Structure 1
């Protein structure tokens, strides 16, 4: 297993190659990876066996597979998750059942060690939980954030360092930066921001609840960037979804409502809400401005790589005059091609599973 050491350093992005060769990077060269916590993780050679684990591991898996060749070759194991889609994994890595170890979602350090990784990749929220236990077993840990728009491009660069493919990281960064720039440029000088409410619909123990996201979460950031005013921020609590009552929703009486449904199709949920007299009295429902957040195998509102699709889609709904030229299906095809999926595969395997308010 590669030796590593962790050195506190003010945050920067970069990778130091200990040995250099003309024409590329030798797989025997040492590397340094600067992770999301600003730590320097040193390897005598690029890690060849990677284990991905921790909370929200499906987001981490999907980000890693934006490096299709490296992910297939170097990921040895990953942890399951509530939202993990085997059908999606089969599309992007048809042999994963034979080549990868699928761990339990609540995996511990000893189970991770059993996969014999050269390094473990975790989200930064595990830096005080799972991470220290893994490091005590002598296994290097590299953290990525995968939580905010501001840091997402850096997370891709970190993965590029681990996979020793900075060129691919730059290509991915350009894809995201182009779309972020388009939204930022068009919304920079808008004077009127519609009052927007994003609600997560959930059913626990037979009880229906509506929840709002924390201020720093992706859902709130996406609304702000897409030209809307997220009206729930004064009510949201940090660290997780906050349940809100219908009375609070009615008091807000938003211009636009977006419904997220991780366990189903939000269009079905909205159809039921329209039949409820209380919901029918809301301005957004009266004006036909209530939408189901899109998704395919995963919803587009999360810190999964699909958030860039969610941002573009939101912009077309919140500021339709500014983004009337955006063809979301074209955006979708461009995005899924990043995983190496052919146009035919996208047509036959992705489009049929689309959910939410899409063309």
Structure 2
């Protein structure tokens, strides 16, 4: 399917509009009053999307849906999970909740059937809240939620990251609740998990459509960057700025994380490969950054301050000695509500942005703005007016 011409079933065709941002756009706050107006705006969007995206059932199908149909789905851990479809009381919580919720929100009707959701702890505003008119009716759960709190919501489907099975999932399994584990850490896992969630949510065609969109968008980038010779791949450093206890640190991702894959797929050379074989962010000194002296530096900050932090660092004498700073290739990773580098659905935007930073000539005449609009249209049915109201005001980072 050509997504530049036709978006996902039930959503309107993506269109081209005027430029949404300039380089180093500043993030703007989302007030409670603005959230209320945006919820009202999105009510119509979600209603239309839900009505048009799911085929009207025939008599037999309607009867099955009303009574609930048992279905067995294999999850990311290859466990057979038997559940009733369509599920009516969905919970997703625990670590990395924005990643599971971001995917679930792409299935029409699922936000309305979500009864429990982990609290958002990333960024200045909450995408899930501003795009769901009845968000306040959902029970919000802490990151350290226990099984008793989830069980009290009487869920008929619990969607969790596989990494929280021991702490949260296994106790819920013992209580008899259907727990579906997803990974959502790599492009390959996204492909599998989207299809699997489609089956679990009784929206198999939607799951396949989303998987196809991610797969084809990724291939549209890698088909071009794969042929770039090694000597033309810019040496790159992606660093996460972290401030805790008054101390600032710069951190690189592990070799196996999506951030490293994104740089490689976009046609760059991650200089930190081999420096962090562990399972989490690893702190590096400025002396190590200077020794690497990369062609390109990408600064990540999950609090939404990457542009201002980058500007401040670039004014410091020692940072001004770095090649990337001197050649104006010190970039703030873009974001809307969440940063585009992580294994949230927005990694697809991060890949397209990185490829254009590394190899702009490969994407001449293909504005990133159109890809951003197509992304939000295909996943969430967010079109012209809604995009200008919900997305454009919070875009930040080094956007063309």
Equivalent position to 1:336, from 354, 360, 376 = 376
Give the Cα–Cα distance (whole angstroms) in 1 for the partners of residues 129 and 161 of structure 2: 23
Equivalent position to 2:135, from 88, 96, 104 = 96
Unaligned runs of 5+ in 1: 1-19
Aligned-pair CA distance for 1:309: 0.5
Q: Secondary structure at the match of 1:296?
A: coil
In 1, are the aligned partners of 2:94 and 2:142 still within 8 Å (CA)? no
Aligned length: 338
Matched, 1:353 2:391: no
**Bigger RCO (CA 8 Å, 6+ sep):** 2
Which residue of the partner structure matches residue 156 of structure 2? 118
Matched, 1:240 2:298: no
Give the Cα–Cα distance (whole angstroms) in 2 for the partners of residues 255 and 206 of structure 1: 30
Change (3 A) 1:84 1:317: closer
Equivalent position to 1:262, from 278, 302, 305 = 302
Give the Cα–Cα distance (whole angstroms) in 1 for the partners of residues 115 and 224 of structure 2: 43
Give the Cα–Cα distance (whole angstroms) in 1 for the partners of residues 112 and 304 of structure 2: 33
Which residue of the partner structure matches residue 10 of structure 1? none
Give the Cα–Cα distance (whole angstroms) in 2 for the partners of residues 184 and 299 of structure 1: 21
Aligned-pair CA distance for 1:102: 1.1
Give the Cα–Cα distance (whole angstroms) in 2 for the partners of residues 85 and 168 of structure 1: 30
Give the Cα–Cα distance (whole angstroms) in 2 for the partners of residues 267 and 44 of structure 1: 46
TM-score, scaled to structure 2: 0.81
Which residue of the partner structure matches residue 106 of structure 1? 144
Q: Structure 1, residues 56-114: CA drift from partner, whole Å, max 9, x if none? A: 11111111001032x1232111121422776422332111212x111122100111101
The equivalences for 1:1-359 within 5 A come to 26-27=64-65, 28-69=68-109, 71-83=110-122, 87-98=126-137, 100-191=138-229, 192-337=232-377, 338-359=379-400
Q: Which of the two has greater helix per residue?
A: 2
In 2, are the aligned partners of 1:58 and 1:84 still within 8 Å (CA)? no
Change (3 A) 1:45 1:285: closer
Change (3 A) 1:256 1:107: same
Q: Structure 1, residues 223-263: CA drift from partner, whole Å, max 9, x if none? A: 01000111101111422110000000011110110000111
In 1, are the aligned partners of 2:124 and 2:304 still within 8 Å (CA)? no
TM-score, scaled to structure 1: 0.90
Q: Secondary structure at the match of 1:30?
A: strand
